[in-house]
Amino acid sequence: MAAETQIDFATLKKGGWMRQKQKNKFALRIHVVGGTLTAEQLTGIQKVADKYGRGYVHLTARQSLEIPWLDIKDVENIKKDLAEYGVSPSVCGPRVRTTTACQGSCTCPSACIDTQDIAQKIDKRYFARELPGKFKFGCTGCQNNCLKTEENDIGIKGGERVEWIADKCISCGVCVKACRSNAITLKDGKITIDRDLCNYCGRCAKACPVDAYEEHPGFLMSWGGLYGNHFHKGKPIVPFFESEDTLFKLCDATIDFFKNNAKAGDRLQFAIDRYGQDKFDDMIKKVYNESENKKEEADG
């Protein structure tokens, strides 16, 4: 690999090695799931940056790390050194990229779902899968939307369906003030939730001082986000749902659609536009309805 004519740049890029403008210099993109790395992994990355690079790393817009100024002759040694610390390269090009995610309900008081768990499951199921074009997942824990899920080919947003518990309520009105959708009213000591206005943010339950709400976490999804050379806000197609099984059936169906309908270099929305938005929506709704109906049957 010493001579440039022997370098397979396409294979290197596939494995996360991004060519710099300087001859035979590369930035290595690290595989980071949900923006989380262990202290041990960070130590390994620091050692490689010091030994082979210029002693610094770059934080990417999608929660990854890149180690720049790496020499082509050191590729195999760098991979070996990183592996000792549980660090692996990411991918580039036409395949499923690393999933981004906020910290989620394990630590964030606003989050409705465990985004880190979902991101890991998505990564194990889809990461690096070969497709006609690149494909991005983003997962955020609540309506604060820190991860801007609508920028992704598939966006996953946490939400909550809440149920008022009359016996616990002290009619303080805190939940009414907390609701930003004006979906909650308090009259004569009784709470009423307008389901048409509710956006499943869960603020009412989290603000309640006496836990007078049951919380049922679930998902809101969007499809076809683009924020690069072309712009398109990801579109919601199905309503809020609570089944993780339904979530992955919808993801599976979308990946299969993209694989079968996209052209080289496409993003999901380009394939949808050619196929027909209405037809795509109907396909997604069918998968959703079949999954949710099976869940209802199983639950009795």
Q: What is the pLDDT of residues 272-295, one digit of tens each?
A: 999 999 999 999 999 999 999 998
What angle is formed at CA 146 by the lines to CA 140 and CA 152, rounded to 5 degrees?
60
Listed residue (129, 150, 17) closest to 79, CA to CA: 17
In the three-class reduction of DSSP (H, G, I as helix; E, B as strand; rest coil), residue 193 is classed as strand
In the three-class reduction of DSSP (H, G, I as helix; E, B as strand; rest coil), residue 76 is classed as helix
Domains and CATH numbers, the chain: 11-83 (3.30.70.3340), 100-157+217-299 (3.30.413.10)
Residue 3 pLDDT: 43
**How far apart are alpha carbons 222 and 237 in whole angstroms?**
7
Residue 299 pLDDT: 86
pTM of the entire predicted model:
0.94
In the three-class reduction of DSSP (H, G, I as helix; E, B as strand; rest coil), residue 207 is classed as helix
Query: Contact, 159 vs 118, CB < 8 A?
Result: no
Low-confidence spans in the chain with pLDDT less than 50: 1-5
What are 262's two structure tokens?
Answer: 């996209």
Burial readout 93-114 (b: 16 or more C-beta within 10 A, e: otherwise) = ebbbbbbbbbbbbeebebbbbb
Residue 8 pLDDT: 82
Residue 228 pLDDT: 86
**How far apart are alpha carbons 45 and 35 in whole angstroms?**
15
Strand order of the β-sheet with 137-140 is 100-101, 137-140, 154-164, 213-223
Residue 295 pLDDT: 85
Residue 6 pLDDT: 66
Q: How many CB atoms lie within 10 A of CB 220?
A: 22
What angle is formed at CA 16 by the lines to CA 10 and CA 22, rounded to 5 degrees?
75
Query: Contact, 140 vs 34, CB < 8 A?
Result: no
Specify the residue for token string 């009213």.
Answer: 185
Residue 296 pLDDT: 85
Size of the chain in residues? 300
- What are the beta bridge partners of residue 28? 17, 67
Task: Tally the C-alpha atoms within 13 A of residue 97's C-alpha that lie toward its C-beta.
Answer: 25
Listed residue (237, 241, 291) closest to 269, CA to CA: 237
Residue 193 pLDDT: 98
